[in-house]
Homo-oligomer: A and B are copies of this chain.
Amino acid sequence: MILATRISSPRPQMRKEPRQARSRATVESIVQAGTRVLSDRGWAGFNTNEVADTAGVSIGSLYQYFPDKEALVEAILQRHLDDVLAVLSESEAGGRSLKQLVDDLVTGMIAAHGVHPALHRVLLDVVAPHLGSSPAQAKFEATYLARYRAIVAACPRSRGKAADEIVAQVLCAMIEGVIHSAARSGALKSDELKRELIHAAYSYLTGGEP
């Protein structure tokens, strides 16, 4: 199992850029099949032969475009992170009040995790720790945190720069924690949960020194 060892040396993400329409369609179907298999069967049931079968493509074709299993997983991760960012950015047009910002953020995050909850958990909990942080993840984290920082910055409570950074991380972690937990228990769409989460985040940002 290659993923057992962290590989830090830069590998080509793709063996060969798909130039023609047919090639692009093949790659597309492979990534989608991989997404489906990973989501349905979990990491333990994810193997390249199964993915090729599901994609209706020969195993040889899969390896034509992805040098190894890891590259495939990375592509799946990349694609998913892009999807999540896209969903997230849709909630960014919101108002200016802190209350509004928090509401929009939580709404966006919940929507983002609704894309593919099972996949998200597998990718983030199981796959990501094995992958040396890829550019995909770096960009994702950056965009992600920027949003949090913007909110913290919009928060009137006086704090130093360093403190702000920590607050952003705590805010991020607590929102993610609650949403992941809700995803696990299937309560992701509960309005009550959303209200509580917004309340928790807002309280944290505005709560006076205890």
Pick from B126, B163, B178, B202: contact of A174, CB below 8 A: B178
Chain A binding surface, main DSSP class: helix
Chain A residues with a Cβ closer than 8 Å to the other chain, count: 44
Interface residues of A (CB under 8 A from B): 1, 3-4, 41-45, 99, 121, 125-126, 129-130, 163, 166-167, 169-170, 172-178, 180-182, 185, 192-193, 196-200, 202-204, 206-207, 209-210
Return 12 A-B CB contacts under 8 Å, by A number. A4-B45, A42-B129, A125-B125, A125-B126, A126-B126, A163-B192, A173-B177, A173-B178, A173-B180, A177-B178, A177-B180, A200-B207
Whether the pair B44, A130 counts as a contact (CB closer than 8 A) is yes
List, in ascending order, chain B residues with CB within 8 A of A170's CB. 178, 193, 196-197, 200
Residue of B nearest to A46 (CB): B4
**What's the nearest-Cβ distance from chain B to residue A19, in Å?**
12
Whether the pair A207, B196 counts as a contact (CB closer than 8 A) is no
In the complex, given contacts A174-B174, A203-B203, what are 7 additional A-B residue pairs having Cβ atoms less than 8 angstroms apart?
A1-B44, A4-B45, A166-B193, A170-B200, A175-B177, A202-B210, A203-B204
